[in-house]
Amino acid sequence: MSSPTEAATRPDFTTSICLEQPLPGNPYVAERRYISGYNVADLWRNCHYCDGLLLLLTGELPSQPQRRLLEMLLVGLLDPGPRHPAVRAAMLAGVSKSGPEHLLPLGLLTGSGQRGGALEVENAWAFINSHLQNNPAALAALCLAEARPTPGFGSSFGAVEPIWQRLAEDLVAVMPEQPVLNWCRDFCRVLHGQNQGWLLPGLIAAVGLTLGLDARKCLGLWQLALAPAVMAHGMEQTHKPISSNALLRDDQYDCD
């Protein structure tokens, strides 16, 4: 039978991401912590947040263009607006007096399965990754002609959202020689003729692929990107009376 000390020092999980050097005499407290070989103290003194985030996700510190690409994406998605399902869910929960600690997880969980949500990011990643060897213009024309689904691309309420198109143009400009972003740009050029274009999941999937992230990590990136808006909008509503929530008129209810 192992002693209590031996049991305490034996890890329950293994990870290639983090290494901790325990405090002498106390294995429960870390004296130093390393992320993929980098002392976390050096990271907080010398790196940007996006550097550390990509180090966690990829095991490597990014180049300056890679950091700028992720930073621009995160700022661009900082607030997708109150009509986004994840944000809307947190707002409704906030004004309904749900506990503030529940607003962020509730919003992200509610928005995950919606078109434009986290699961669509996985679908968009798979769609882009599986077609990178195809001619993007020809594929877009075929998808339009045969009404094939194009995860990550399309229209929102019957229109192209200009904000996402402008963000995509700026993202491509950060790394103009990057094949994934260029492929998506050329794919969208054909879609624009039919009033379709970039959707939020497509942006996240394309940037994730460019940065070397797999589909699961892109799903997590979606959650990280939207979390500030979900939290902020939800918290704002907690200060309002429940009567401020818009209600349907009596004649708008269907009681059949």
Which pLDDT tens digit goes with each residue over 23-80? 999 999 999 999 999 999 999 999 999 999 999 999 999 999 999 999 999 999 999 9
The confidence score (pLDDT) of residue 252 equals 66
Q: Is 142:155 a contact under the CB 8 Å cutoff?
A: no
Q: Would the CA dihedral through 42, 43, 45, 47 be positive or negative?
A: positive
Give the pLDDT band (50/70/90) at residue 5: very low
Phi/psi of residue 114, nearest 5 degrees: -75, 155
Say whether pLDDT at 98 is over 60. yes
pLDDT digits 0-9 by tens, 150-168: 999 999 888 999 999 999 9
Say whether pLDDT at 232 is over 50. yes
What distance in Å separates the CA atoms of residue 16 and residue 39, rounded to the nearest whole number?
14
Higher-pLDDT residue of 119, 235: 235
Closest CA to 233 of 101, 57, 94: 94
Higher-pLDDT residue of 193, 248: 193
The confidence score (pLDDT) of residue 248 equals 62
60 CB neighbour count, 10 Å cutoff = 12
What distance in Å separates the CA atoms of residue 54 and residue 159, rounded to the nearest whole number?
33
The confidence score (pLDDT) of residue 157 equals 85
Minimum mean pLDDT range among 130-139, 169-178, 229-238, 245-254: 245-254
Q: Report the predicted TM-score, pTM, of the whole model to 2 decimal places.
A: 0.87
